Structure 1
Amino acid sequence: MTLSTAFTTLFGVRHPIALAPMGGSAGGELAAAVSRGGGLGLLGAGGGESEWLARELPIAAGAGKPWGVGFQTWATSIAAIEQALEYGPRAVMFSFGDPTPYVERVRAAGAAVLLQVTDLEEARQAVDLGADVIVAQGTESGGHGARHGRSTLPFVPVVVDLADGVPVLAAGGIADGRGVAAALVLGAAGALIGTRFQATAEALVAPSIAEALVRGRGQDTERNRILDIARSSRWPSKYTARTLGHPHLDQWRGREAELAADPAAARLAYQDDVTRGAVTPLPVWASEAIDLVTDLPPAADLVPALAAEAGRALARAGRP
């Protein structure tokens, strides 16, 4: 079954699957592999560190397939966006913050504008800004998302209705073809997938992180601000992060204000634990669907496998 949608038509890709532009871990090799597999690979540029972009952008662009790049809106700059646009991405995605200063520059370069939204206020802004694609992120997602957001299942169809014909991608808690099928049934034009692609051969993650993703379970994940505070991360407080369990969560759960009262001491304690090997240098960002992650396949093989599973799921659902 060929799953043709407004998203696949817009970008000329075979499958309605996009790589979540996970900061740091979605490097050039992973983005290129997803694109070669028939999806839309999105490089995870984060705030747009110039040296990192200079290394990873040519790899993503070298796949010879439609690809794009995603930025953390609150942390990026026009200089970083200009650097990415030099490589001719088909899409530029903005997440977490007001993308208004950047949208017209991306559009002028001929790239599609993808705007991720975590609540209805952000969704309305995305429509007003003329987004080419809106990504509706539910709270099941790994990594950062809305502190007071909605689950993917009820959120996506509301955004689809609000978007009024603008293609919507569902994001959050989608890690297999059944999730992709569910996204399509909800009215989305495809799925943006993170954690499942973080556990692939091409992802820029340490072996210990990859192993933790394969072993992890959904009930072991938790959405909080503790690790941002402990690491002195500048993430806006509106966005919390879903990670696997962590010693600092156990130590400071319910005491976030106390932890934030002395950020220098919090960071020093965290760095000391990293140095001693008591905690990993980076948290393990992971969605509630992590139970479905059981191996580390090549991403180029994973994309068509997810699409085929989605087709089978839709066929089953259509049986009388």
Structure 2
Amino acid sequence: MGLSTAFTERFVVEHPIALAPMGGSAGGALTAAVSRGGGLGLLGSGNGDEDWLARELPVLADACAGKPWGIGFQTWAIDEGAVARSLEHGPAAVMLSFGDPSPFVERIRGAGTALILQVTDLEEARRAVDLGADVIVAQGTEGGGHGARHGRSTLPFVPVVVDLAAPIPVLAAGGIADGRGVAAVLALGAAGALLGTRFQATTEALVDPATARAIVEGSGADTERSRVLDIARSSRWPERYTARTLAHPFLDEWRGREDELTADPRARQEHQEAVARGTIPALPQWAGEGIDLIDDVPSAADLVGSLAAQAEKALNRAGGR
């Protein structure tokens, strides 16, 4: 039967599932695999690094088999040139997250490309509606990686955004790691789900094998949201966005002492030296609260179909009751 929604109809995809454009790890192979599997793959270009895109876009083109795909940016970190260069490759959608998207909206819509805007609170949701978003992603704080410091939990946030944005399709994000989660957000009125951490633990993801293993072996209780690792890495992420990661020695040492860490160049140098020695990961291990539900590292193409089948089964079971 399949799960047909406004999202699947808009992009002519089989399943209401999208890949979160995770900066660096959602490369060409993963994006293409999700699209081949019947979802919408979104390339995680982050700050629009030209060298990274030059490497990953050909991989995507070779492996996508003509399926629709998109590209995502960290809005605070890009300029118009990054968006213009991405549009030259004909993505079906451009997704903008974390920051003011208004400088880029006209160029994206002028190219006939769908505009996907991620929001973390109701003010951002209203702004996305006013800007004419084709799809809105409502991100809850349970998700891995970056999100609003004072965001909302997925379950209560999604239906509020659905009501506010109607008839614009809304994708739910944050802590969704299996088909039951997809079914739950569809029941809340979302047109689909955008998943990140679940797709990090796939064969095509650009992550260190140790990170995929840590996700499989970890628990949601092992994750926490903090700015410590951004400060330690001298990352330019704005203060309003914290990141949910797995445990890390610097988190234990500096938790609740972000101002001290910011003012201590010696500590940041120690972080760099530990990375160089290989005693801590070069990147934080981004992970959402749903990792208890992840116990394997399948192909992303196969995973999309499995998630959709699980979701349909869960909805049918609930309807039968």
TM-score bracket relative to the smaller structure = over 0.9
- List aligned pairs for 1:23-38, cutoff 5 A: 23-38=23-38
Q: Which residue of 1 aligns with 2:179?
A: 177
Q: Say which SS state the counterpart of residue 150 (structure 2) adopts.
A: coil
Shift of 1:150: 0.6
Q: Say which SS state the counterpart of residue 13 (structure 2) adopts.
A: coil
Q: Which residue of 2 aligns with 1:53?
A: 53
Question: 1: CA distance between counterparts of 2:287 and 2:58?
Answer: 28
- Which residue identity is paired with 1:238? R
Question: 1: CA distance between counterparts of 2:277 and 2:47?
Answer: 29
Cα-to-partner distance string for 1:90-142 (whole Å, 9 max, x where unaligned) = 00000000000001101111110000000111111100100000000000000
Q: Which residue of 2 aligns with 1:207?
A: 209
- Which residue identity is paired with 2:319? G
Shift of 1:76: 1.0
Q: Does 1:285 align with 2:263?
A: no
Q: Which residue of 1 aligns with 2:300?
A: 299
Q: Which residue of 2 aligns with 1:198?
A: 200
- List runs of 5+ in structure 2 lacking aligned partners: none
Q: Say which SS state the counterpart of residue 48 (structure 1) adopts.
A: coil
- Which residue identity is paired with 1:32? A
Question: 2: CA distance between counterparts of 1:305 and 1:140?
Answer: 22
- Which residue identity is paired with 2:266? A
The counterpart of 2:244, out of the listed 239, 242, 245, is: 242
Q: Give TM-score scaled by structure 1 length.
A: 0.98
The counterpart of 1:130, out of the listed 129, 132, 146, is: 132
Q: Say which SS state the counterpart of residue 46 (structure 1) adopts.
A: coil
Runs of 4+ deviating beyond 6 Å: none
Question: 2: CA distance between counterparts of 1:203 and 1:95?
Answer: 20
Q: Say which SS state the counterpart of residue 275 (structure 1) adopts.
A: helix
Cα-to-partner distance string for 1:293-315 (whole Å, 9 max, x where unaligned) = 11110000000100000000001
Question: 2: CA distance between counterparts of 1:176 and 1:230?
Answer: 33
Q: Say which SS state the counterpart of residue 74 (structure 1) adopts.
A: helix
Say whether the 8 Å CA contact 2:118–2:139 is kept in structure 1. yes
Q: Which residue of 2 aligns with 1:41?
A: 41
Q: Which residue of 2 aligns with 1:266?
A: 267
Say whether the 8 Å CA contact 2:122–2:161 is kept in structure 1. yes
Cα-to-partner distance string for 1:212-241 (whole Å, 9 max, x where unaligned) = 111111000000000001110000000000
Q: Which residue of 2 aligns with 1:257?
A: 259
Cα-to-partner distance string for 1:41-92 (whole Å, 9 max, x where unaligned) = 0000000000111111232234110000000000011111111111100000
Say whether the 8 Å CA contact 1:4–1:14 is kept in structure 2. yes
Say whether the 8 Å CA contact 1:61–1:67 is kept in structure 2. no
Say whether the 8 Å CA contact 2:20–2:42 is kept in structure 1. yes
Question: 1: CA distance between counterparts of 2:108 and 2:58?
Answer: 18
Question: 2: CA distance between counterparts of 1:305 and 1:142?
Answer: 21
- Which residue identity is paired with 1:34? V
Q: Does 1:84 align with 2:86?
A: yes
Q: Give TM-score scaled by structure 2 length.
A: 0.98
Q: Which residue of 1 aligns with 2:19?
A: 19
Say whether the 8 Å CA contact 1:58–1:87 is kept in structure 2. no
Cα-to-partner distance string for 1:15-45 (whole Å, 9 max, x where unaligned) = 0000000000000000000000000000000
Say whether the 8 Å CA contact 1:61–1:89 is kept in structure 2. no
Say whether the 8 Å CA contact 1:220–1:244 is kept in structure 2. yes
- Which residue identity is paired with 1:48? G
- List runs of 5+ in structure 1 lacking aligned partners: none
Shift of 1:254: 1.3
- Which residue identity is paired with 1:268? Q
Judge which range, 59-68 or 292-301, deviates more: 59-68
Q: Which residue of 1 aligns with 2:218?
A: 216
Q: Say which SS state the counterpart of residue 273 (structure 1) adopts.
A: helix
Q: Which residue of 2 aligns with 1:275?
A: 276
Question: 2: CA distance between counterparts of 1:10 and 1:266?
Answer: 49
Say whether the 8 Å CA contact 1:231–1:266 is kept in structure 2. no
